[in-house]
Every structure is written in structure tokens, then in C-alpha cells.
């Protein structure tokens, strides 16, 4: 019933384009995440939905109704801030009951609703505390309860967990997911943590430089990225240059590899082949014509798997994985000749972007989340 839709929405601040023509539809009742690097415009987009920022172009609709020019206090959307933004002069009870008192609910009604919300978010017994007497996690629970109190059809959350430490973050994000699901409201959630996005979302939109590059389910985004940046930003990805030979075949160096037909046949300009480390399998020797030849240059132990670094004959470096058990049964020496076969279902051909070129000039491992992020 309550979809949230952006139609060709744009916003610039002076010279910076914060959001550049975004079209996005958040289906009713779904948990939708905006994911992207710092400064890509996630917050700005969210704040335009809340009405804190007026878009320069386009429209925002809630349940089909154009709210672009409606002031924030008449939109009735919930907002949860990264910095909690609790009213410091009000108790937990007064914070949560704020919207209800404002619209003139009866005292008894407010009391029962606040009590129910406190129980829902796990704040029971803390009603009379002031915000500065609470831990960070508790404060964010209050902020969540406060936003939920007037029963908003849409909840907007801007990196609500990023000020908390890892353990609480993991626990609270599951709770947020559960609560939103229980109440059946539409949630738009901003994060730059790809693991968080993959684990709690129904859908993810990956943004860069004010644009949405790809929107889809977590598995679609992870397994079938449609943009080199998406592949790199979400999880760990290998990218190498390739030439298109046909709908299901590319040439990399002197090898021809089978790939997933992806409508890429018509692509002009330089292209790359991308896949996840766990979708390659290693064999000794380098004669297999449908596999990439390379030399082992390093291995790092990640627990369940060992991640191997391979220098390809083309000079490119890629990553592959082996289970820890296999590796320790037959460890390889650096310099060993290997060939890497890629599972064609997960080998995707994409147009090369700026970064996929520059990165090859950098020493391995490349900077950013790729090397540290772990695939689910």
C-alpha cells in the first residue's frame, strides 16, 4: 500500500552534484537498502524523502501521492538518525511519546503505547532515564521507538548503527529487521557497510557519485553485478581484461573462456571479465585451454578458506580460494604453475570503468573494501 518512489530526483549543493537523476521505487513493506561509498549521495536522497532537503528536480511520492513540496512535519514518515538526535531535555518516556503528545493523544493512550514500544525495542524499565544516562545502543533503541511511535507507513534510517561497536551492531540490525517486518512498514535503510546491506535487505540499490548503478535482491547484486563498480564494492571480485567472442565466450590473453550469456555481445569499447574468488577452481599445470594459466605468488589463511594470489600470464593478479582442509592436505609452494577455471554461470562480462583500469597499475592487494570484506 505504501510504496516510496523517487522520480528523476536530483540535488546539487553549489558545485557538487549530490544526487543525479535517481529513479527508484521502494515496494510497499520491503526492507530496502541504499549502499554506496562515502559521499555518494545516500544521505541526501534519504533526506529528500524526509523533506529535510528540497530536491532541485524530480518528484518524491509516497503511496502514489506527490509529497515533493510537503514540509517534513506533514509527511508522517519516521526518521532514525546516525547520531540518534534524542531530545536531551526529555526522558526516554517523553522522547518516545513526543509525537503522540504533539498530536494530542490522551495520556492513557500515550502511556500504553510507550510501554508497548519500550517492550518491543527492549527498553523496559528505562523510561525515566535521560538520554545522557543511556548507552549508545540504548539510545538508538529509543530513537527507533520514537520514530515508530506515530505508526509511520515508511521508516527512513540513516546509518543508524555506524556509531556502535561491532557486536551490538550485528545484534541490533537483526532486531531492526525483525521489528520492521513485524510492523509491516516500508523501510529505506542507508549504509556503507556491504555486509550489513546483504544480511538484512530485501533489496539493495548500489549508488556511486549520486547515481543508482544497480538495484536488486542481495543475491542478484552479489552474484550477477551489472557494473564493475558494483562487483568491486560488494564482496571481493576479480576483474581482468577480455575480448568478446560471442554471447557465451570471451578471450582473455590466449585463452577462450565460457561465460554467462548476459546480453553483453553488443558492448562496444573495452570490457572486463569479473567473478568471485570462490567461483574459480585451481588445477595444477597450465595447459587447460578453457582455464587461465598463472603462478602462485602468495596465500593467506582466512579460517575456513585459504585465499591464494595468482599472477596471470597477462600480468594481472587475481584471487582464488581453497578450503583450508584441501590446502593443508596438499599445500603449494609459491611459484607453482596453476590453471584457474572459472564457473561460467558466475563469470560476468561488463564494460570496463575508470577504476578497473587504474587498479591494475596498483600493487596487490588493491585498496578499499575488497580485500577486507568477506563474502557471506
Partner 1 sequence: MPRLPAAWPAILGLGALIVAFIGVPLGAMLLRSAVVSAPLSAVELIDVTAEALDLLPAPEREALLAQWSARANARQRMEAVAAALEASGLPVPWDRTAAYDHQVAAAAQTLEALPAAQRAEVEALLPLAVAALHRRVPLAFRLRDRLSEDEFDRLRGGVSERLGLDHYLRVVTEERFRRAAANSLLLAGVTTILTTGLALLAAHGVNRRIVVAAGAARFGLLVPLVSPPVVVATAAVMLFGRNGLVTYGLLDRSLGWIDASVGNLYGLSGVVIAQVLSFLPPAFIIFDNLMARQDGRLDEAAASLGAGPWRGLLHVSLPMAQPGIIRAATLVFILAMTDFGNPMVIGKDLPVLAGVLYDEMIGFQNTPLASAIALWLIVPALSVYLLLDRIGRRKRFETVGASAASTIPSPAAARIGLSLLVWSIVGFTAVIYATIAAGAFVSVWGRDWSFTTAHFTSAEAVPGFVSSHAGIAPVWTSLAVASVAAPLGGLMAIAVAWLAERFRSTATEALSFLVMLPAILPGVVFGIGYLVAFNAPLGMAALSLNGTHAILVLNILFGNMFVGVLAGRAMLRRLDRSLEEAAASLGATLWQRFRLVVLPVVRRAILLGTLYVFVDGLSTFSAVVFLQGPDIDLAAVAIFESAESTYYGKACAMSVTILLIVFAVMAGLRLIERWSGEARRAE
E strand map for 209-336: 211-216, 238-246, 249-252, 255-258, 271-275, 280-284, 292-301, 305-312, 317-323
| Residue in the structure block whose three cell numbers are 556502535 | 164
Note whether 87 binds partner 1 by CB under 8 A: yes
By the rule CB under 6 A, 16 interacts with ligand ATP: yes
Nearer to ligand ATP, 38 or 372 (CB): 38
What is the distance between the alpha carbons of residues 119 and 179, in angstroms, rounded to a whole number?
Answer: 11
For 3, the grid coordinates are: 510504496
Q: Is 44 a residue that touches ligand ATP (CB under 6 A)? A: yes
Residues 220/260, Cβ–Cβ less than 8 Å: no
Residue nearest to Mg ion (CB): 43
Q: Is 85 in the site for ligand ATP (CB under 6 A)?
A: no
Nearer to ligand ATP, 44 or 203 (CB): 44
18 contacts ligand ATP (rule: CB under 6 A): yes
- Decide: is 40 part of the binding site for ligand ATP (CB under 6 A): yes
* Close Cβ partners of 151 (under 8 Å, ≥ 6 residues apart): 183
Q: Is 155 in the site for ligand ATP (CB under 6 A)?
A: no
Say how far apart CA 84 and CA 136 lie, in whole Å: 9
Of 14 and 266, nearer to partner 1 (C-beta) is 14
The yes or no reply on residue 13 touching ligand ATP (CB under 6 A) is yes
| Contacts with Mg ion, residue ranges (CB under 5 A) | 43
Q: How far is CA 274 from the centre of its chain?
A: 19
Question: Binding of ligand ATP at residue 26 (CB under 6 A)?
Answer: no
User: Which residue's CB is nearer to Mg ion, number 189 or number 275?
Assistant: 189
Considering CB distances under 5 to 8 angstroms, the limit depending on partner class, which of ligand ATP, partner 1, Mg ion, none binds residue 78? Answer: partner 1
Of 14, 15, 64, 88, the one binding partner 1 by CB under 8 A: 88
User: Does 301 sit near ligand ATP (CB under 6 A)?
Assistant: no
Position 90 contacts partner 1 (CB under 8 A): yes
Q: How many residues bind ligand ATP (CB under 6 A)?
A: 12
Site for partner 1 in 23-82 (CB under 8 A): 47, 50-54, 71-79, 81
> Do 79 and 147 meet the contact criterion of CB atoms below 8 Å apart?
yes
Question: How many CB atoms sit inside 10 A of residue 88's CB?
Answer: 9
The rounded Cα 41 to chain-centroid distance in angstroms is 13
Is residue 42 a contact residue for ligand ATP (CB under 6 A)?
A: yes
Report how far residue 59's alpha carbon sits from residue 73's, in angstroms, rounded to the nearest whole number: 18
Task: Kindly state the smallest distance separating residue 156's Cβ from partner 1, in Å.
Answer: 8
Longest dimension (CA), the chain: 79
3-state secondary structure of 111: helix
Cβ atoms of 139 and 81 closer than 8 Å: no
* Residues near ligand ATP, by CB under 6 A: 13, 16, 18, 36, 38-44, 192
* Residues near partner 1, by CB under 8 A: 47, 50-54, 71-79, 81, 83, 85-90, 98-99, 102-103, 130-132, 143, 146-147, 149-150, 156
Amino acid at each position: 500500500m505504501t510504496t516510496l518512489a523517487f522520480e528523476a530526483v536530483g540535488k546539487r549543493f553549489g558545485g557538487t552534484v549530490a544526487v543525479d537523476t535517481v529513479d527508484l521505487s521502494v515496494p510497499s513493506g520491503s526492507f530496502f537498502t541504499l549502499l554506496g561509498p562515502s559521499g555518494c549521495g545516500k544521505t541526501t536522497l534519504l533526506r529528500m524523502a524526509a523533506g529535510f532537503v528540497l530536491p532541485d528536480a524530480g518528484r518524491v511520492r509516497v503511496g502514489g501521492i506527490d509529497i515533493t513540496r510537503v514540509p517534513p512535519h506533514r509527511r508522517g514518515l519516521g526518521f532514525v538518525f546516525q547520531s540518534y538526535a534524542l531530545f536531551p531535555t526529555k526522558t526516554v518516556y517523553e522522547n518516545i511519546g513526543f509525537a503522540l503528545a504533539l498530536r494530542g493523544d490522551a495520556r492513557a493512550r500515550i502511556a500504553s503505547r510507550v510501554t508497548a514500544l519500550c517492550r518491543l525495542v527492549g527498553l523496559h524499565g528505562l523510561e525515566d532515564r535521560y538520554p545522557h544516562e543511556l548507552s549508545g545502543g540504548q539510545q538508538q533503541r529509543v530513537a527507533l521507538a520514537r520514530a515508530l511511535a506515530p505508526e509511520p507507513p515508511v521508516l527512513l534510517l540513516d546509518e543508524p548503527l555506524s556509531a556502535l561497536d561491532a557486536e551490538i551492531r550485528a545484534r541490533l540490525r537483526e532486531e531492526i529487521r525483525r521489528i520492521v517486518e513485524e510492523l509491516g512498514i516500508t523501510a529505506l535503510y542507508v549504509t556503507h557497510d556491504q555486509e550489513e546491506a546483504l544480511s538484512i535487505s530485501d533489496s539493495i540499490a548500489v549508488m556511486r557519485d549520486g547515481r543508482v548503478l544497480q538495484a536488486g535482491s542481495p543475491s542478484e547484486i552479489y552474484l550477477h553485478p551489472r557494473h564493475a563498480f558494483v562487483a568491486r564494492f560488494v564482496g571481493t571480485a576479480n576483474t581482468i581484461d577480455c575480448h568478446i567472442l560471442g554471447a557465451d565466450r570471451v578471450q582473455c590473453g590466449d585463452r577462450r573462456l565460457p561465460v554467462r550469456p548476459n546480453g553483453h555481445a553488443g558492448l562496444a569499447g573495452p570490457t572486463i571479465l569479473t567473478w568471485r574468488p570462490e567461483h574459480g577452481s585451481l588445477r595444477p599445470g597450465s595447459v587447460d585451454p578453457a582455464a587461465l594459466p598463472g603462478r602462485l605468488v602468495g596465500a593467506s589463511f582466512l579460517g575456513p578458506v585459504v585465499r591464494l594470489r595468482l599472477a596471470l600470464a597477462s600480468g594481472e593478479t587475481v584471487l582464488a580460494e581453497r578450503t583450508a582442509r584441501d590446502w593443508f592436505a596438499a599445500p603449494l609452494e609459491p611459484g607453482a604453475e596453476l590453471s584457474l577455471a572459472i564457473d561460467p554461470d558466475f563469470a560476468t562480462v561488463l564494460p570496463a570503468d575508470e577504476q578497473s583500469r587504474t587498479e591494475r597499475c596498483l600493487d596487490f592487494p588493491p585498496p578499499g573494501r575488497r580485500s577486507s570484506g568477506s563474502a557471506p
